[in-house]
Amino acid sequence: MASKPPKGDPVQDAPKVAEPKRSAAGLTAIGHSLRMAHQQMGVKRTALTLLSVNQKNGFDCPGCAWPDPEHRHTAEFCENGAKAVAEEATLRRVTPEFFAEHTVADLAGRSGYWLGQQGRLTHPVYLPEGGDRYEPVTWERAFDIVAEEIGALGSPDEAVFYTSGRTSNEAAFLYQLFARELGTNNLPDCSNMCHESSGSALSETIGVGKGSVLLEDLYRSDLIIVAGQNPGTNHPRMLSALEKAKANGARIISVNPLPEAGLERFKNPQTPKGLTTGAALTDLFLQIRLGGDQALFRILNKLILDTPGAVDEDFVREHTHGYEDFAEAARAADWDATLTATGLTREDIEKCLRMVLASKRVIVCWAMGLTQHKHSVPMIREIVNFLLLRGNIGRPGAGVCPVRGHSNVQGDRTMGIFERPAEAFLDALEKEFGFSPPREHGYDVVRAIRALRDGRAKVFFAMGGNFVSASPDTEVTEAAMRRARLTVHVSTKLNRSHAVTGARALILPTLGRTERDLQGSGEQFVTVEDSMGMVHASRGRLEPASGQLLSEPAIVCRLARRVLGSGSKVPWEEFEKDYATIRDRIARVIPGFEDFNARVANPSGFTLPHAPRDERRFPTATGKANFTAAPVEYPELPKGRLLLQTLRSHDQYNTTIYGLDDRYRGITNGRRVVLVNPEDARELRLADGSYVDLVGEWKDGVERRAPGFRVVHYPTAPGCAAAYYPETNVLVPLDATADTSNTPASKSVVVRLEQSTTD
Ligand code: SF4
């Protein structure tokens, strides 16, 4: 029988610390998956859902965006996938009675973990102006309220339409269509906070803002460099691909400030060996300083240039632009500055170079550890330089592999969820639907928060997600949200963003991926695009958590009809009734989706074209792959300060907290911990187990404080510390963002640690 949600809160944050693990997954992961699944769903539902997730005729895991292999195992999921499914398919319910019992102020005092554990939302609810709690509301009335507030705006640009990466392709296409027919490009999304730096760097250098690697490429590679990524927790099925690549002869270099269990050894529960010894993964671990990756790849490029015959001159001549300027800049790379920036030894780097020179096919994978720094865009450009030098783009077994976080975050961007849409996309929309979409660029996440803070935005509408917890500068963001006239969240579960409201607020409960979606023309399926550009169908199997839920597409269609009225040029009713009609339009508007319905009928789906991978054609401003020559940057650290990265625990997915343990790092029953290198701790006189306040320091002179963190002596790179978000997002200044991409710089926050006054 599924268990009840935790009654009391705050759930005691009393961390216990043990030795970090040296391997990931194994029998323990199976145990954890089944225990958490049973707690939320009971036995029967656990079997039903976990045997359908990621299956060809099943539903797509609402966790990360790791692709599905052609051959699916009976259990085609990882521990964190099981947790994501269990949390969505939980038998726990948040009903109107719950809201009658809990005021918004009470909810605001609860931990994110407690809120998330209460279960699935069952009814649309409304917080009236001046009210202290949500009350039930009909869908019609809810859409009226949104129409009232949007109607009262001076301009459509006073509304913001946010998207979290769980939104399906069909819902995302409709959502951008609605916002644009309304007249705004204010379409920020969670990409702005994660891989925007990748998109910016790749669009400029190779002409496509997406990875060029497919699963098969990983299996055919000679060398895989995994930089600024912790796949053991954030993309666990990637470990199976790395294991297979190793079995095929590949070597692995991991570049990370933290020694992560999942990169050291993988105990694949699908194999006998996995259930015993497991497979070693990393051949060379480079424990780099936060933000030192650009310097590392720059010196590698210098050394490659200095090695006779190491450059693929034919490729460089035929397919690239800007080589001379780049080569001059690279040859000027300085060893001393490099060793300072990276914290690595010359021997480390030369070992790495030997592995690179011994490899014909090289892939570089990365995640937030590279994208959330002030200089992330030039950092990723330097990786592209590194791959171009030896022709490792558009060759089987080689390429760029930014690994996306949310299950359909890449799909949403492909569908037009972007505040800076391409002219060609807007032209295609105009031709297809006969209305003139706005051409002025809209707000990304950081600009949307500024607009809410400054009163330039008054209506905030979120399709999924937990905006206030995912965003930086928590106090500023929450105050900005409270300035809005109306905040609306389309959600499956309760989270902090529901307790940080505008003058009026709505929570609109929607179907989850695991649930059947019945519309006028019958049962519907949606589609998603994974991190490698493969598009496939997702069909829910469970009865909806309540008869009051609407699907995301239905919510957008009904909202659009209510707000835009009969003057709208878009057939919203037809779209709501039959999603195939949405896909027919997508096929005509978005390149690569021709014949969409026919091709997605293939149980494995289809792969979107990628000109650099498929044809070594680079749709850039120069028509070539662009070398770049940016100056090398790295974070400077004042004496007595540490460089902090915000990160996830193993019991967490983005801002969703599944539990209070971070098993691989040896931490249980608590989240307010800060990982500090023992040498740094000795210098700062910080005993293991003592409590400190983390105080963020930035050029604006504002003191940002996160109180009451337990110091954990941990083998981080010297000078570098780590702590979990969203608890430490309060330390990340709103204006501390990456150049060009405007992504919050959450991986290099200068902090001082003060003996805590709260423990
Ligand atoms: S690797 Fe990602 S997509 Fe796959 S089951 Fe795990 S969380 Fe889900």
Residues whose beta carbon lies within 6 Å of some atom of ligand 1: 54, 61, 63-64, 66, 77-78, 80-81, 84, 235-237
pLDDT grade for 7, boundaries at 50, 70 and 90? low
Q: Compute the distance from residue 631 Cα to the ligand 1 centre, in Å.
A: 37
- Report which ligand 1 atom has the smallest distance to the Cα of 65: 3
Angle between helix axes 552-564 and 169-182 (nearest 10 degrees) is 10
658-683: per-residue pLDDT in tens?
Answer: 999 999 999 999 999 999 999 999 99
**Same domain (yes/no): 467, 321:** no
* Token pair recorded at residue 626: 């662009």
Q: Exposed, middle or buried, 690 (CB in 10 Å: 0-12/13-18/19+)?
A: middle
- Asked if residue 344 belongs to a domain, the reply is yes
198-234: per-residue pLDDT in tens?
Answer: 999 999 999 999 999 999 999 999 999 999 999 999 9
Distance CA 151, CA 558 (A): 16
pLDDT of residue 13: 79
**Same domain (yes/no): 53, 139:** no
Distance CA 346, CA 67 (A): 36
- Asked if residue 12 belongs to a domain, the reply is no
Q: Compute the distance from residue 341 Cα to the ligand 1 centre, in Å.
A: 34
Q: Which amino acid is at 165?
A: G
Percent of the chain as helix, strand, coil, to the nearest 5: 35, 20, 45
% of the chain with per-residue pLDDT over 90: 97
pLDDT grade for 8, boundaries at 50, 70 and 90? low
For the cut 60, the answer to whether the pLDDT of residue 708 exceeds it is: yes
For the cut 70, the answer to whether the pLDDT of residue 695 exceeds it is: yes
Q: Compute the distance from residue 79 Cα to the ligand 1 centre, in Å.
A: 8
Among 382, 403, 424, where does a domain finish?
403
Mean pLDDT of 485-503: 98
**Same domain (yes/no): 655, 734:** yes
pTM: 0.97
Mean pLDDT of 691-709: 96
Mean pLDDT of 93-121: 97
Mean pLDDT of 723-745: 98
Report CA 272 to chain centroid distance, whole Å.
32
* Token pair recorded at residue 4: 């009840």
Contact 201, 385 (CB under 8 A): no
- Asked if residue 526 belongs to a domain, the reply is yes
The conformation of residue 595, written as its DSSP 8-state character, comes to T
pLDDT of residue 483: 98
pLDDT of residue 476: 98
- Report which ligand 1 atom has the smallest distance to the Cα of 53: 5
For the cut 80, the answer to whether the pLDDT of residue 656 exceeds it is: yes
For the cut 70, the answer to whether the pLDDT of residue 427 exceeds it is: yes
pLDDT of residue 90: 97
For the cut 60, the answer to whether the pLDDT of residue 10 exceeds it is: no
Give the Cβ contact number of residue 26 at 10 Å: 20
**Same domain (yes/no): 309, 338:** yes
Structurally, the chain folds into a number of domains equal to 4
For the cut 70, the answer to whether the pLDDT of residue 397 exceeds it is: yes
% of the chain with per-residue pLDDT over 70: 98
- Give Dmax over CA atoms of the chain in angstroms: 74
Mean pLDDT of 704-724: 98
- Asked if residue 616 belongs to a domain, the reply is no
Closest CA to 540 of 89, 8, 27, 14: 89
Protein residue closest via CA to atom 3 of ligand 1: 64
Contact 156, 514 (CB under 8 A): no
Whether cis (ω within 30° of 0) applies to the bond prior to 10 is: yes
Q: Which amino acid is at 657?
A: I
Q: Compute the distance from residue 327 Cα to the ligand 1 centre, in Å.
A: 40
For the cut 70, the answer to whether the pLDDT of residue 12 exceeds it is: no
Query: Who contacts 516 (Cβ-Cβ below 8 Å, separation ≥6)?
Result: 523, 539, 540, 541, 542, 543, 544
Best mutation site among 36, 68, 74, 78 for ligand 1 pocket (most ligand atoms within 8 Å of CB)? 78
H-assigned helices in 565-703: 572-577, 579-589, 596-600, 611-615, 678-683
Distance CA 463, CA 294 (A): 35
Among 50, 69, 88, where does a domain finish?
88
137-186: per-residue pLDDT in tens?
Answer: 999 999 999 999 999 999 999 999 999 999 999 999 999 999 999 999 99
**Same domain (yes/no): 482, 419:** yes
For the cut 60, the answer to whether the pLDDT of residue 1 exceeds it is: no
The parent domain of residue 341 ranges over 196-403
For the cut 70, the answer to whether the pLDDT of residue 758 exceeds it is: no
pLDDT of residue 756: 85
Contact 366, 372 (CB under 8 A): no
Assign residue 446 the CATH number of its domain.
3.40.50.740
**Same domain (yes/no): 653, 527:** no
How confident is the prediction for the chain on average, in pLDDT?
97
Best mutation site among 32, 64, 83 for ligand 1 pocket (most ligand atoms within 8 Å of CB)? 64
Assign residue 686 the CATH number of its domain.
2.40.40.20
**Same domain (yes/no): 590, 706:** no
42-101: per-residue pLDDT in tens?
Answer: 999 999 999 999 999 999 999 999 999 999 999 999 999 999 999 999 999 999 999 999
pLDDT grade for 11, boundaries at 50, 70 and 90? low
Q: Compute the distance from residue 26 Cα to the ligand 1 centre, in Å.
A: 16
Q: Compute the distance from residue 432 Cα to the ligand 1 centre, in Å.
A: 36
- Asked if residue 741 belongs to a domain, the reply is yes
The conformation of residue 5, written as its DSSP 8-state character, comes to P
**Same domain (yes/no): 50, 175:** no
513-550: per-residue pLDDT in tens?
Answer: 999 999 999 999 999 999 999 999 999 999 999 999 99
Supply angle C-alpha 706, 732, 238, rounded to 5. Answer: 100
Best mutation site among 61, 233, 404, 538 for ligand 1 pocket (most ligand atoms within 8 Å of CB)? 61
267-293: per-residue pLDDT in tens?
Answer: 999 998 898 899 999 999 999 999 999
Q: Exposed, middle or buried, 154 (CB in 10 Å: 0-12/13-18/19+)?
A: exposed
User: Can you tell me which residue has the tokens 């931490």?
Assistant: 667
- Asked if residue 632 belongs to a domain, the reply is no
pLDDT of residue 757: 64
Mean pLDDT of 726-739: 98
- Report which ligand 1 atom has the smallest distance to the Cα of 236: 1
Q: Compute the distance from residue 53 Cα to the ligand 1 centre, in Å.
A: 9
31-44: per-residue pLDDT in tens?
Answer: 999 999 999 999 99
- Report which ligand 1 atom has the smallest distance to the Cα of 235: 1
In degrees and rounded to multiples of 5, residue 323 shows phi and psi of: -60, -45
**Same domain (yes/no): 654, 743:** yes
**Same domain (yes/no): 188, 202:** no
The length of the chain is 759
- Report which ligand 1 atom has the smallest distance to the Cα of 79: 6
- Asked if residue 625 belongs to a domain, the reply is no
**Same domain (yes/no): 737, 688:** yes
- Asked if residue 622 belongs to a domain, the reply is no
For the cut 60, the answer to whether the pLDDT of residue 759 exceeds it is: no
Protein residue closest via CA to atom 2 of ligand 1: 64
pLDDT of residue 275: 86
Closest CA to 696 of 657, 739, 725: 725
- Report which ligand 1 atom has the smallest distance to the Cα of 82: 5
pLDDT of residue 2: 65
- Report which ligand 1 atom has the smallest distance to the Cα of 62: 8
- Report which ligand 1 atom has the smallest distance to the Cα of 653: 7
Best mutation site among 51, 59, 66, 531 for ligand 1 pocket (most ligand atoms within 8 Å of CB)? 66
pLDDT grade for 699, boundaries at 50, 70 and 90? very high
Distance CA 671, CA 649 (A): 8
For the cut 70, the answer to whether the pLDDT of residue 340 exceeds it is: yes
Q: Compute the distance from residue 326 Cα to the ligand 1 centre, in Å.
A: 38
pLDDT of residue 368: 98
- Number of Cα atoms under 13 Å in the Cβ half of residue 752: 9
pLDDT of residue 6: 64
**Same domain (yes/no): 583, 454:** yes
pLDDT grade for 312, boundaries at 50, 70 and 90? very high
pLDDT of residue 98: 98
DSSP states along 701-721: ---EEEEEEEEEE--PPTTEE
H-assigned helices in 221-322: 231-234, 238-247, 261-264, 293-305, 313-319
In degrees and rounded to multiples of 5, residue 757 shows phi and psi of: -100, 0
Closest CA to 289 of 721, 583, 730: 721
Closest CA to 583 of 602, 568, 599, 569: 599
Among 60, 88, 116, where does a domain finish?
88
